[in-house]
Amino acid sequence: MDLALNQFVFDRINFVNIIREHQALGAHTDVVVFEPTKVKTYKWTHPGACPMGNKTSNQCSKCHRLKTLSPKRDNEDRFSIVLKCSECHWEKSFKVPEGFKWCQGESPSKGGDRGAWMVFTETNSEVSSKSDEDVKMDLD
């Protein structure tokens, strides 16, 4: 509700500044903003809870222990994060999704405990170029 109040009632224009204060919203859903000429999708990221915008579990996929995963920077690729289990050493790498850019120079390393936001911008010509069949498949 805070987000809607800031955007529509108080008429605060810079959406990126508003959304940076709403990491709790990002932990639950992406935010899609429809504008006359484009559609923007915002994803919240956090090194442990949502690496590079990917939701994760508190449970290791291999040994099934709880809360054993910890984020590490990938030394070979500075644009990825690796979640590694402290018990069985299982690991999974996450990269920035294609087409997404960090909001206002943010990144997982600069976001701190609150996380960081990234955005994907799609112009209306890209959106309207989808055929009816593509749209129907997306809805299924």
Dump pLDDT digits (tens) for 85-134. Answer: 999 989 898 888 889 988 877 766 554 667 888 899 998 765 555 555 55
Under 8 Å CB-to-CB from 62, ≥6 apart: which residues? 85, 88, 90
Asked if the model's pLDDT at residue 59 lies above 80, the reply is yes
Distance CA(47)–CA(90), nearest Å, equals 17
Q: What average pLDDT does this structure show over 64-78?
A: 77
Percentage helix, strand, coil for the chain under 3-state DSSP, each rounded to 5: 30, 30, 40
**What's the mean pLDDT when you consider all of the chain?**
76
